[in-house]
Structure 1
């Protein structure tokens, strides 16, 4: 597995990481055996960056990772700030400390590798006090580094104003390309590592969905398809599902032949050198192997990247809800 440096953390992380939202059951039920099989596969494939959060399954995702006996050498990043005790407008240093200590207990460590603010409201970021609290909590030894997981380019640029921010987790994929223009270059200039989530746009970019596809009631692709539970820009990258299916069919006409569309989508992200790691959630171990294969593929041709950028501006961007 090829590795890249995660910004000022100095961590050498696998180009393909593991998103662990699904281990909390938020993509449909998953039992302990299936969760363990996914984590075992990540180890076997050299995937050494795992991303979770305190609210995934009410802490279940963190607990499953903490119970996994084979994660030596793995960098685990978690996220705090979406729990109802703080979100949306009750943030405090004490509340953050309590959440961080809870995550550390579930993950079975004294000091967390990386703690990310979990899509806190834009106004909270603008105020800036929360970043000072994170600096102080880091100084207390609760975490080695901190960053932020954001919804939009605007929020990412706000975070970059704060020296203590070591990483940014962003939505970035063929159906959400705007970060390439300003955010990625500025992050690189400040040595801030970029973690890309939703590289497959909640599965749209696998090319396997049709307009008649239905998702489990417990899956956010069901209950948040139109933003009923959280940001409409998160699920399917903010694109209405049926329109997303149509756009993916168009994309297949641009993509190289005989290459799985999911690997094209992952390779597209990795062809941006400012990206440190790409986290994609998987429900089966074999899906992880397919993701890892994208790291070994040759870069896409610059001309093809240009075609995809033009197509995005013309056909995709007008469809996105929730900001870019």
Structure 2
């Protein structure tokens, strides 16, 4: 495993880390504690030392599983969680200092940890980024020894740029992949200037970039890839990175021609992300250990060649850019 500095947190984190949205099973199909613990333990065995969870993942079951495993290990493993998505309706007015404080304290109880290495606002409405009192709360929580660092998880580049105006924001979690390239422009320039840690989520565009889907692929009723393609439940950019499924399949078929020796595109798609030095770590999910092993292959691959990068960009410009670039 290779490690990179997570911005001004000063923490060195594994390039391939672990996201735990679906770590205990398939999306929406219930949570399996044994499976979750097996995946997390195997990740740590492989050198993963940064795990991202959230209080809304299976109503706290994901946080609890992460906490149990981390406390059982001798290795230093950094835990990041998120707060705010429990607010219902999820609107700016629901974000109050009192509500967020309780969520942080609940996450401490869920994980069983004395202090959270990183707490992140969980894709709040854009208006929240313009409220200094929300960000000031986390300075107080840090003084109380309940958190070490504050970060934000964002839907839009503009939200990330606004967030890093606050000096106590140390990390930004953002969607970035072969099908969502806009962060590599102004956003990466600014995070580098301000020494912000960049945590990349949805790196495989909800599985599109594995190359394993076809027009005949179906998804379970409770899987967001079935019900959220138009944003019925949350921002549609979280599902297939906002790319229309059939368009994504066309683009993936062209990617397969660029990388003809790779039946599984996932490792090369992750390698493409790692070729950007501004990225601190990637947090692909895994609902089975086979997914974890696939993701970890990325650290063993050489950087993409200039010709390969150019081909990826050409496919993005031809098929994807008009659907996503200016939306997020």
Alignment TM-score, normalising by the size of structure 2: 0.94
Alignment correspondent of 1:58: 59
Alignment correspondent of 1:39: 40
1:253 lines up with 2:254 in the alignment: no
8 A contact 2:15–2:280 mirrored in 1: yes
Structure 1 counterpart of 2:73, from 65, 70, 77: 70
What do the CA deviations read for 1:4-42 (whole angstroms, capped 9, x no partner)? 010111111100010000036561334222112111211
8 A contact 2:3–2:14 mirrored in 1: yes
8 A contact 1:118–1:148 mirrored in 2: yes
Structure 1 counterpart of 2:143, from 139, 142, 146: 139
Aligned residues: 324
Instruction: Name the CA distance, whole Å, in 1 between partners of 2:31 and 2:219.
Output: 14
Structure 2 counterpart of 1:215, from 219, 224, 231: 219
8 A contact 1:171–1:199 mirrored in 2: yes
Alignment correspondent of 1:199: 203
SS in 2 for 1:79: strand
Structure 1 counterpart of 2:238, from 226, 229, 234: 234
Instruction: Name the CA distance, whole Å, in 2 between partners of 1:85 and 1:298.
Output: 45
What do the CA deviations read for 1:70-102 (whole angstroms, capped 9, x no partner)? 374111100001112573221111111100010
SS in 2 for 1:299: coil
Instruction: Name the CA distance, whole Å, in 1 between partners of 2:186 and 2:87.
Output: 33
* Superposed structure 1 runs of 4+ greater than 4 Å apart: none
Instruction: Name the CA distance, whole Å, in 2 between partners of 1:259 and 1:2.
Output: 24
Change (3 A) 1:265 1:141: same
Give the CA deviation at 1:238.
0.4
Could you list the runs of 5+ residues in structure 1 that have no partner in the other structure? none
Give the CA deviation at 1:211.
1.5
Structure 2 counterpart of 1:290, from 290, 294, 311: 294
8 A contact 2:31–2:58 mirrored in 1: no
Give RMSD over aligned pairs: 1.8
SS in 1 for 2:304: coil
8 A contact 2:251–2:320 mirrored in 1: yes
Alignment TM-score, normalising by the size of structure 1: 0.95
1:2 lines up with 2:2 in the alignment: yes
SS in 2 for 1:194: strand
Alignment correspondent of 2:19: 19
Alignment correspondent of 1:48: 49
